[in-house]
């Protein structure tokens, strides 16, 4: 891209940046609210209409909309009225100043003007354009309907009104109707429509219209290209913006607007080289370094870390406004030079420019991000004291910063106070009298916070607010809702929200794919992945990670290999470590430990995540010795292990039953590597000790640790109590679990099994009755068989599979063979009985295995996953079948990975 720009931009050696710095203050204009004032040099009576017309015209040409409105108000107060030549300029000024009341007064004058005004096309078109600019689509439509003749100017204004309101379908229909009525759209009409689609995020339609424009013989001008470039940048499609810019340079010379529009794309892509070329182009082509280009350059240099260049650009701008000063201040803030930022703040005021809301917002965001919430609150109060109203950007900066620094309660409180209609005070800062309406950015930030905290109930309330406020159509809001529901376990609602999104982007798809994977429905994630590909969306790195992890969870080896091929094609010189880690995970879980090791060896730049991935693969295959060898390599290579590394090491020690070595690793974490043990590390230690029967010692470790135990830790202890039939400690663990996770049925199941093992049948029945009374339902058991990229699910109690009779026949044959070998198998008929005890194994993995024997080629492995732990009966049966049928069988039961071959299992009968 950089080379292409060098070829396209006019060649000339760049000049050094000018050090000149002008600090001239800009005049500020205030609306006189319809009353005459001395600044116009006119008395309240006997004012000359021609003098007012000259002043209004001069202000409009200078785009000083406020001053033009003041002159119009003074003109009316003096008893003079604009004629049909002046009125269009007045209407334009009202639109530019966003003065709805004066606009209505000007419209009333036009209505009272009689036939002279009514039949004037310029006045009529100006009325339509004014209401369109004010965002009043209904009024614009009404003014358009009153026109005796509608020319291209009027049609274009109305199309623009609908486009600005986001009603793109209506805008396009109007555009078509204009042509059907015999009015040929000009380049401005096309620009208006293209710009509308681009600004509203529908870039595919915008680009199509741009091409259609050229096909119909309308040559795009510089403004046309600027529209599409600006739309791409506003929607963060920076790569596309630069591509279109390069195409433009082949036929048009960029102007100041083009440069100001494309520089933010360079900022977004951190493309410093291209930004410098554009700066050079501005200098050698004599384009004035105005405030728009200047502020974009300062922003670009600042974001790319070239703060010296940013300051030089600032010095070279002759007429500085608040925007330029704000960019300089933001430059210092980005560099964390707060003292210099405040010095610039003071210098800005000394030079006659008052800091505005944007200035304060930069400081508020910086302090909130740094966790200095009191300073942020003080700035909010200061804004109110000097007459500035904090806006939605102020509150978004505060909420985002507080969330970023972990002040979750304060962030939620700030969101709540935004909506207090009568104002209020919180944490020492005051809001203005009127509430601040949250926008899409606010809702996205709050949903992100609620997702992190797993507060699904509050998330639903925010969802309702988004629906009422019309913000649900915001792609970022809807994507974050999908993420929220997915991460809080409500995947059905996540899918419902996802299906309702019309303009899905890659972030939306990634959210729903991750939701299904996190909720143990990876087969649906893979189906949706194929659906996404069919919609012509290309997967990004996150998409591929999710798809690879889902392939590993489902043991869909064929699908994983296809993804590997795609990655090789798109990253021929080596793929990112994140993808390498996901590939290692996929191959490991699909039973291909050799392929996992090959990916690891072929990864040139290995980070700790890559090492963890290959160690996890060996751990999964119960090769703990290899895990320890890899850790020695990590130590020798100088790579700093992370907390995950030690979780894997401790789990390897559990597989070996090496408690002393586990203790050595556990205490070396902090002493040698400075890593504080987390709950997961304590959970590993409790698991190791509990498996060894040291239940009292495990309970003592839990009571002594500085961290608050969670459900996972107590659950591990409870399972250890079940293993060793320890009712006393088991009841303590279960009591803690019932408080932490009252709706988790697995905890009740574990305690029920302890009671049953101890012969306490009354307690067992009482516990199950309590579950029924609380409405707790045990998750239905199921197993999945993977045939290539197809998934066959066998759910307990469901005999609807078309091959079910063949499956039962196959099992009967196997049963006979087992009996003849002296092994009496348990029947699987309860599988088809919906009334079977939900707390007992229903052997769905054996049903899946029978179908695999029917469907999978003799020399191919059979791959099955189950959502419940395998029972000993199923485990023994599958060991026998692997030897008797000479088949390689992989089963992942959610607890352990089992590789059956020649009558043995990789787990060593310990799971």
Question: What digits encode the pLDDT tens for the residues 237-266?
Answer: 888 888 888 888 888 888 888 998 899 989
pLDDT at 35: 38
Query: Tokens representing 555?
Result: 């043991």
Residue with tokens 């009525």: 181
Compute the distance between CA of residue 437 and CA of residue 439 in angstroms, rounded to an integer.
6
**435, 462, 485 - which closes a domain:** 435
- Establish if 169 belongs to a structural domain: no
Confidence label for 796 from pLDDT (cuts 50, 70 and 90): confident
Q: How many domains does the chain have?
A: 3
Integer angstrom CA distances of residue 513 from 153, 452, 481, 529, 546:
47, 18, 13, 7, 7
Pair 758, 528: CB distance under 8 Å:
no
Claim to verify: residue 363 and residue 426 sit in the same structural domain: yes
State mean pLDDT over 576-600. 92
Pair 606, 576: CB distance under 8 Å:
no
pLDDT at 595: 94
- Establish if 31 belongs to a structural domain: no
State mean pLDDT over 506-516. 93
The pTM for the full model equals 0.65
**What pLDDT, in 10s, does the model give residues 160-196?**
888 877 788 888 888 888 888 888 888 888 888 888 8
Compute the distance between CA of residue 463 and CA of residue 457 in angstroms, rounded to an integer.
10
Q: Lowest-pLDDT range, 33-42, 228-237, 458-467, 678-687?
A: 33-42
Domain span including residue 756: 707-779
- Establish if 713 belongs to a structural domain: yes
How would you classify residue 64: left for phi > 0, otherwise alpha for psi between -120 and 50, otherwise beta?
beta
List all residues 6 or more positions away from 752 whose beta carbon is below 8 Å from its beta carbon: 764, 767, 768, 839
pLDDT at 46: 38
Pair 504, 533: CB distance under 8 Å:
no
Compute the distance between CA of residue 444 and CA of residue 433 in angstroms, rounded to an integer.
25
Compute the distance between CA of residue 652 and CA of residue 658 in angstroms, rounded to an integer.
9
Integer angstrom CA distances of residue 272 from 268, 306, 629, 660:
10, 9, 44, 55
Compute the distance between CA of residue 648 and CA of residue 642 in angstroms, rounded to an integer.
10
Is the pLDDT score of 499 beyond 60?
yes
Is the pLDDT score of 10 beyond 60?
no
- Establish if 569 belongs to a structural domain: no
CB count within 10 Å of CB 633 equals 11
Confidence label for 549 from pLDDT (cuts 50, 70 and 90): very high
Query: Tokens representing 617?
Result: 């693969």
Residue with tokens 């006019």: 10
pLDDT at 167: 80
Claim to verify: residue 822 and residue 893 sit in the same structural domain: yes
Claim to verify: residue 713 and residue 794 sit in the same structural domain: no
Claim to verify: residue 750 and residue 794 sit in the same structural domain: no
How many residues are present in the chain?
911
**What pLDDT, in 10s, does the model give residues 669-711?**
988 888 999 999 999 999 999 988 999 999 999 999 988 988 8
pLDDT at 664: 92
Claim to verify: residue 748 and residue 792 sit in the same structural domain: no
Q: For residue 859, count CB atoms less than 10 angstroms from its CB and return exposed for 0-12, middle for 13-18, buried for 19 or more.
A: exposed
Residue with tokens 């199309």: 159
Determine how β-strand 862-866 pairs with β-strand 889-892.
parallel
Compute the distance between CA of residue 186 and CA of residue 586 in angstroms, rounded to an integer.
56
Give Cα 403 to chain centroid, integer Å.
15
**418, 435, 452 - which closes a domain:** 435
Main-chain phi, psi angles of 902, to 5 degrees: 55, 40
- Establish if 380 belongs to a structural domain: yes
- Helices 541-554, 557-570: inter-axial angle, 10-degree rounding: 160
What DSSP assignment string belongs to 325-375?
A: HHHHHHHHHHTT-HHHHHHHHHHHHHTT----HHHHHHHHHHHHHTT-HHH
pLDDT at 789: 66
**What pLDDT, in 10s, does the model give residues 343-353?**
888 988 888 88
State mean pLDDT over 769-796. 77
- Establish if 765 belongs to a structural domain: yes
Main-chain phi, psi angles of 794, to 5 degrees: -120, 110
Compute the distance between CA of residue 52 and CA of residue 60 in angstroms, rounded to an integer.
12
What residues form DSSP beta bridges with 901? 904
pLDDT at 831: 44
**Of 863 and 35, more confident:** 863
State mean pLDDT over 645-657. 91
State mean pLDDT over 289-298. 86
Q: What percent of the chain has pLDDT over 90?
A: 18
Claim to verify: residue 758 and residue 798 sit in the same structural domain: no
Confidence label for 430 from pLDDT (cuts 50, 70 and 90): low
**What pLDDT, in 10s, does the model give residues 871-901?**
788 888 899 999 989 998 988 876 677 888 8
Is the pLDDT score of 49 beyond 80?
no
Give me the chain's average pLDDT, please: 82
Claim to verify: residue 713 and residue 795 sit in the same structural domain: no
Query: Tokens representing 520?
Result: 């143990």
**What pLDDT, in 10s, does the model give residues 606-634?**
899 999 999 999 998 888 999 999 999 99
Claim to verify: residue 384 and residue 402 sit in the same structural domain: yes
Determine how β-strand 429-430 pairs with β-strand 862-866.
unpaired
First to last CA, the chain: 55
Report which DSSP code applies to 201: T
Compute the distance between CA of residue 136 and CA of residue 144 in angstroms, rounded to an integer.
12
Is the pLDDT score of 482 beyond 50?
yes
Is the pLDDT score of 75 beyond 70?
yes
Q: Which of 343, 345, 362 is nearest to 354 (CA)?
A: 345
Q: For residue 430, count CB atoms less than 10 angstroms from its CB and return exposed for 0-12, middle for 13-18, buried for 19 or more.
A: middle
- Helices 593-602, 577-589: inter-axial angle, 10-degree rounding: 170
Claim to verify: residue 376 and residue 431 sit in the same structural domain: yes
- Establish if 884 belongs to a structural domain: yes
- Establish if 857 belongs to a structural domain: yes
Run of H or E residues at 781? none
List all residues 6 or more positions away from 231 whose beta carbon is below 8 Å from its beta carbon: 194, 195, 197, 198, 199, 203, 206
**779, 799, 814 - which closes a domain:** 779
Maximum pairwise Cα distance, the chain: 120
Is the pLDDT score of 108 beyond 90?
no
Compute the distance between CA of residue 43 and CA of residue 45 in angstroms, rounded to an integer.
5
Query: Tokens representing 17?
Result: 């940046």
Q: Is 898 helix (H, G, I), strand (E, B) or coil?
A: strand
Can you list the alpha helix ranges (DSSP code H) found in 78-181?
Answer: 87-96, 100-112, 115-118, 121-133, 137-145, 152-164, 168-180
Claim to verify: residue 788 and residue 888 sit in the same structural domain: yes
Q: What percent of the chain has pLDDT over 70?
A: 89
Pair 151, 174: CB distance under 8 Å:
no
Q: Lowest-pLDDT range, 685-689, 723-727, 826-830?
A: 826-830
Report which DSSP code applies to 185: P
Claim to verify: residue 817 and residue 895 sit in the same structural domain: yes
Is the pLDDT score of 598 beyond 90?
yes
pLDDT at 835: 43
Is the pLDDT score of 580 beyond 80?
yes
**What pLDDT, in 10s, does the model give residues 518-540?**
988 888 999 999 999 988 888 99
Confidence label for 777 from pLDDT (cuts 50, 70 and 90): low
Q: Is 901 helix (H, G, I), strand (E, B) or coil?
A: strand
Q: Which of 152, 126, 151 is nearest to 140 (CA)?
A: 126
pLDDT at 911: 67
Claim to verify: residue 794 and residue 866 sit in the same structural domain: yes
**What pLDDT, in 10s, does the model give residues 741-766?**
887 777 777 788 788 777 787 787 78
Is the pLDDT score of 837 beyond 50?
no
Is the pLDDT score of 34 beyond 70?
no
Residue with tokens 């429509």: 193
């Amino acid at each position: 891209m950089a080379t292409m720009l060098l070829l396209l931009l006019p060649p000339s050696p760049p000049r050094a940046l000018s050090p000149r710095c002008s600090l001239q203050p800009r005049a500020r204009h205030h609306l006189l609210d319809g009353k005459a004032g001395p600044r116009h040099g006119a008395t309240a009576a006997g004012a000359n209409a021609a003098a007012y017309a000259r002043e209004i015209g001069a202000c409009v040409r200078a785009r000083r909309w406020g001053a033009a409105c003041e002159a119009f108000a003074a003109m009316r107060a003096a008893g003079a009225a604009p004629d049909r030549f002046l009125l269009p300029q007045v209407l334009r000024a009202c639109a530019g100043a966003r003065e709805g009341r004066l606009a209505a007064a000007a419209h009333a004058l036009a209505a009272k003007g009689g036939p002279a005004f009514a039949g004037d096309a310029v006045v009529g078109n100006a009325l339509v354009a004014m209401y369109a600019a004010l965002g009043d689509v209904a009024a614009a439509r009404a003014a358009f309907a009153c026109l005796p003749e509608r020319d291209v100017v009027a049609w274009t204004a109305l199309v623009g009104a609908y486009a600005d309101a986001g009603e793109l379908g209506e805008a396009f229909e109007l555009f078509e109707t204009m042509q059907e009525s015999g009015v040929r759209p000009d380049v401005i009409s096309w620009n208006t429509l293209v710009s509308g689609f681009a600004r509203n995020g529908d870039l595919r339609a915008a680009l199509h219209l741009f091409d259609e424009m050229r096909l119909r013989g309308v040559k795009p001008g510089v403004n046309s290209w600027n529209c599409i470039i600006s739309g791409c940048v506003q929607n963060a499609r920076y790569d596309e913006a630069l591509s279109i810019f390069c195409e433009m340079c082949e036929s048009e010379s960029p102007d100041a607007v083009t440069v100001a529009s494309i520089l933010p794309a360079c900022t977004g892509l951190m493309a410093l080289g291209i930004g410098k070329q554009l700066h050079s182009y501005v200098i050698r082509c004599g384009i004035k370094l105005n405030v728009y280009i200047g502020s974009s350059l300062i922003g670009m240099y600042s974001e790319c870390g070239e703060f010296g260049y940013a300051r030089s650009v600032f010095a070279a701008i002759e007429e500085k406004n608040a925007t330029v000063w704000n960019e300089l201040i933001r430059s210092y803030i980005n560099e964390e030079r707060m003292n210099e930022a405040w010095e610039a703040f003071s210098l800005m005021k000394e030079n006659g420019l008052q800091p505005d809301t944007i200035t304060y917002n930069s400081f508020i965001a910086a302090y909130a991000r740094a966790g200095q919430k009191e300073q942020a609150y003080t700035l909010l109060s200061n804004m109110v004291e000097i007459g500035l109203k904090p806006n939605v950007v102020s509150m978004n900066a505060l909420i985002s910063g507080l969330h970023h620094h972990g002040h979750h309660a304060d962030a939620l409180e700030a969101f709540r106070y935004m909506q207090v209609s009568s104002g209020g005070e919180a944490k020492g800062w005051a809001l203005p009298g009127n509430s601040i309406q949250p926008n899409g950015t606010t809702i996205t930030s709050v949903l992100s916070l609620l997702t992190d905290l797993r507060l699904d109930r509050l998330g639903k309330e925010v969802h309702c607010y988004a629906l009422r406020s019309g913000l649900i159509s915001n792609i970022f809001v809807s994507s974050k809702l999908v993420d929220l529901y997915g991460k809080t376990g409500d995947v059905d609602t996540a899918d419902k929200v996802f299906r309702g999104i019309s303009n899905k982007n890659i972030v939306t798809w990634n959210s729903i794919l991750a939701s299904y994977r996190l909720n143990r429905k990876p087969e649906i994630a893979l189906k949706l992945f194929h659906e996404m590909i069919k919609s012509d969306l290309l997967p990004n790195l996150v998409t591929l990670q999710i798809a690879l992890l889902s392939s590993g969870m489902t043991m869909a080896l064929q699908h994983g290999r296809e993804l590997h091929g795609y990655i090789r094609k798109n990253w021929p010189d080596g793929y990112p470590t994140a993808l390498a880690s996901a590939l290692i995970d996929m191959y490991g879980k699909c039973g291909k430990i050799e392929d996992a090791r090959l990916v690891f060896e072929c990864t040139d730049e290995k980070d700790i995540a890559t090492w963890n991935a290959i160690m996890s693969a060996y751990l999964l295959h119960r090769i703990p010795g290899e895990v320890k060898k890899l850790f020695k390599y990590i130590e020798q290579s100088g790579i700093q292990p992370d907390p995950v590394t030690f979780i894997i090491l401790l789990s390897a020690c559990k597989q070996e039953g090496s408690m002393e070595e586990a203790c050595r690793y556990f205490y070396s974490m902090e002493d040698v590597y400075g890593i504080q043990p987390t709950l997961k590390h304590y959970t590993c230690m409790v698991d190791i000790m509990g498996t060894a029967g040291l239940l009292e010692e495990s309970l003592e470790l839990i009571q002594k640790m500085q961290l608050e135990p969670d459900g996972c830790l107590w659950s591990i202890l409870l399972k250890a109590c079940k293993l060793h039939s320890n009712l006393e400690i088991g009841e303590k663990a279960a009591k803690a679990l019932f408080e932490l996770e009252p709706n988790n049925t697995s905890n009740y199941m574990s305690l029920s099994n302890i009671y049953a093992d101890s012969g306490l049948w009354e307690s067992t029945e009482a516990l199950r009755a309590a579950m029924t009374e609380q409405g707790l339902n045990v998750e239905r058991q199921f197993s999945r068989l993977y045939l290539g990229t197809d998934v066959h699910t066998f759910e307990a109690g469901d005999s609807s599979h078309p091959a079910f009779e063949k499956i039962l026949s196959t099992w009967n044959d196997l049963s006979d063979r087992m009996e003849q070998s002296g092994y009496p198998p348990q029947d699987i008929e309860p599988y088809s009985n919906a009334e079977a005890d939900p707390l007992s194994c229903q052997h769905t993995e054996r049903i899946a295995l029978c179908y695999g024997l029917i469907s999978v080629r003799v020399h191919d492995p059979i791959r099955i996953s189950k959502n419940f732990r395998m029972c000993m009966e199923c485990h023994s049966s599958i060991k026998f079948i692997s030897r008797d049928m000479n088949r390689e069988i992989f089963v992942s039961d959610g607890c352990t990975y089992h590789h059956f071959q020649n009558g043995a299992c990789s787990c060593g009968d310990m799971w």
